[in-house]
Amino acid sequence: MQGLFIEYVYLILIILALVMLANKLRLAYPIVLVVGGLALSLTDEFSTITIDPDLVFFIFLPPLLFEAAWQTSWKEFWKWRRVITSFAFPIVILTSCVIAVVSQAFIPGFTLALGFLLGGIISPPDAISATTIMRQVNVPKSLVSIAEGESLLNDASSLIVFRFALAAVITGQFNLQEAATSFGLVVFMGIGIGLLVGIILYAILRWLPTTPSIEIVLTLVTPYCMYYAAEHFHFSGVLAVVSGGLLLSNKRQSMLSYQSRLQGVNVWTNIVFVMNGLVFLLIGLQLPPIVRQLGDVSLPSAIGYGLVISVVLMVTRLLCTYGAALFTRFASRFITVADPNPEWSGPLILGWAGMRGVVSLAAALSIPLVVGAGQPFPHRNLILFITFVVILVTLVFQGLTLPLLIKKVNLQGMQNAIPERRQELIIQQAITRTSLHFLEKTELSNEHIANLNERLSIDSRLLSQELHEPDKTRITNLMTFQRTYLELLQQQRTTLIDMNHKMEFDEDLIRKYLSLVDLEELKVREKLVQEDTTSI
């Protein structure tokens, strides 16, 4: 046990080094981690590490899905709900059908049921890689929202397809009507259980005397409760976590204290970072055991099958995204849609962002070794190898070329009607005016309130000036101010550190003010990054 723990400590240290390398090379860290895992798999020390599907599905998947749902904007999710649901359900099912037909025709001994099983495994894209790349490049918010929303639902639909296909392979029977009824039950009951657990947690946090530590721990435990409760009754644990996470995310302001919101972000960010790093590194580490299990199938043939399926998968997704865009244009004649005339560049980017990830590999690994009277599961090892090749090809090839594609195509037409920076100025101005209006009704009877009123008045004038002056002048002035302010904060930090050397000052008090300086620097640097991005 101790040796296993130390092994994973080494893996985490390797992850940190590889992520730093990815940042240096300006690459999405999932790509570097998978390639790094491949390199590590060739060493004796790490060649025996394997992925336990139960570990992925129960330990890793619930918190990763919950955090994604928590970060997702419900407003954006609802705005693009038709596109997201078409990507998450019809496209996943259609992709599974195409893979089933192609694999049956191309791979010797493959039945249609095995093809559907393979399709259910490799149909869901991994949005972590796509959104990581999109955030490194100036991509419209709508594309990121669609990719994030798709990732919340496509795992559930693909795992349901996988479940039914697995049952068909084992029993040799498939009833379409029964499968459709079961599909609906699994979906709606999974959502219902997630909402029920979410409502219970909301009531606890809203009305019981909790502390920030209790609230944060409860948010960590909740996704596991949602997932286990749904899976225990054979419903969709993924949809339970997603639906419950979206509900609680929408209620965070009323159920969590401000301390919990601030502290919880740091806790969740670091936990999810480590988990994502581990799953991508573990993908790369699976190469030796998967190759060893190929058995009678030659390695060149298996690689050929994997490459063909990868190409079919990429082409199918591109065609599906353009099909969804055409359907949106047609549907806009009869119903109100978020974008009645989608640009050609959006479907191209979303289609090319279909990298596969750990859910696909975990699903393949969860295929049983035997069926029926002790007979080996047909083509299990080949399915596992094809899945690995698909993940590797899509993650590395599409992942490396996606930034270049984004830079080449014209995405200007998909930008928000009001630029993000201007929206921010309008919001700040509204907040400032509301504050001044409130202070006008307040008796300005002491110097602190009068000083606050004066500062808000100055801020209001500056914001009005920023909204009306040319963008280039505004950005130049603001960036000059921000850089000067950063130097001022560094001087404040130096002064506090010097004061901490004196015995008469309480170190806890000094640390408190150092934290305030850090928080102020964080806000300034975030604005500085926004301005740099806007000026590109």
pLDDT at position 500: 84
Measured in whole angstroms, the distance separating CA 221 from the mean position of its chain's CA atoms is: 19
Q: What is the pLDDT of residue 90?
A: 87
Is pLDDT of 415 > 70? Answer: no
Strand partners, 375: 371
Q: What are the C-alpha distances in Å from 14 to residues 37, 74, 166, 286, 403?
A: 9, 36, 36, 16, 25
Is residue 102 predicted with pLDDT exceeding 90?
Answer: yes
When pLDDT is cut at 50, 70 and 90, the band that residue 268 belongs to is very high
Q: Is the per-residue pLDDT at 171 higher than 80?
A: no
Q: What is the pLDDT of residue 183?
A: 79
Of the ranges 198-212, 250-264, 404-418, the best mean pLDDT one = 198-212
User: Among all chains, which residue has been given the structure tokens 């919990």?
Assistant: 260
Give me the pLDDT at residue 193, please.
Answer: 96
pLDDT at 439: 77
d(CA 36, CA 429): 48
Selected residue with higher pLDDT from 297 and 102: 102
Instruction: Say if residue 214's pLDDT is above 60.
Output: yes
CA 135-137-141 angle, 5° bins: 55
Give the pLDDT confidence score for residue 196 in this predicted structure.
97
The CA distance from 193 to 275, in Å, is 25
pLDDT above 90 for 509: no
Q: What are phi and psi of 79, to 5 degrees?
A: -60, -40
173 vs 217, residue with greater confidence:
217
Confidence of residue 472 (pLDDT cuts 50, 70, 90): low
Predicted confidence at residue 412, as pLDDT, reads: 57
Confidence of residue 418 (pLDDT cuts 50, 70, 90): low
pLDDT-above-70 percentage for the chain: 92
Residue 371 three-state SS = strand
pLDDT tens string 42-99:
887 777 777 777 777 888 889 988 998 888 877 788 888 888 888 888 888 899 999 9
At residue 230, the pLDDT reads: 94
User: Worst-scoring range by mean pLDDT, 165-179, 251-265, 508-522?
Assistant: 165-179
Is residue 145 predicted with pLDDT exceeding 90? no
Percent of the chain with pLDDT over 90: 23
Taken in order 254, 260, 265, 268, is the CA torsion positive or negative? negative
pLDDT of 176 reads: 66
149 pLDDT higher than 90: no
pLDDT band of 200, cuts 50, 70, 90? very high
User: Bigger pLDDT: 339 or 321?
Assistant: 321
Helix/strand number for the chain, H first, E second: 25, 2
Give the per-residue pLDDT at 393: 92
Give the chain's mean pLDDT: 83
Quote the Cα angle for 159-163-164, to 5°: 125
Instruction: Give yes or no for residue 317 having a pLDDT over 80.
Output: yes
Model pLDDT, residue 243: 93
Burial state string for 210-235 with b = 16 or more CB within 10 A and e = fewer than 16: bebeebbebbeebbbbbbebbbeeeb
Confidence grade of residue 244 (pLDDT, cut at 50, 70, 90): very high
Cα–Cα distance, 429 to 421 (Å, whole number): 12
Comparing 305 with 487, the larger pLDDT belongs to: 305
Tokens of 458: 């100055």
- Between CA 184 and CA 192 the distance in angstroms is 12
401 within 8 A of 352, measured Cβ to Cβ: yes
Tokens of 111: 């039945």
Higher pLDDT, 239 or 136: 239
Q: Is 337 a residue whose pLDDT tops 90?
A: no
Q: What is the pLDDT of residue 420?
A: 63
Lowest mean pLDDT among 210-224, 260-274, 468-482, 487-501: 468-482
**pLDDT of 37 above 80:** yes
Residues in CB range of 409: below 8 A, 6 or more apart: 345, 348, 349
Structure-block tokens of residue 268: 């969740």
**Average pLDDT in the 133-141 region?**
74
| 438 band by pLDDT with thresholds 50, 70 and 90 | confident
> What pLDDT digit, counting tens, does each position of 355-396 carry?
888 788 888 888 887 876 667 888 888 998 999 899 999 988
Strand residues in 421-476 grouped as ranges (E): none
Lowest mean pLDDT: which of 118-127, 223-232, 319-328, 448-457?
448-457
H, E, C per residue of 3-27: HHHHHHHHHHHHHHHHHHHHHHHCC
b or e along 116-140 (b: 16 or more beta carbons within 10 Å of the residue's beta carbon)? bbbbbbbbbbbbbbbbbbbeebebb
Structural contact between residues 36 and 14, judged by C-beta atoms closer than 8 angstroms: yes
pLDDT of amino acid 240: 94
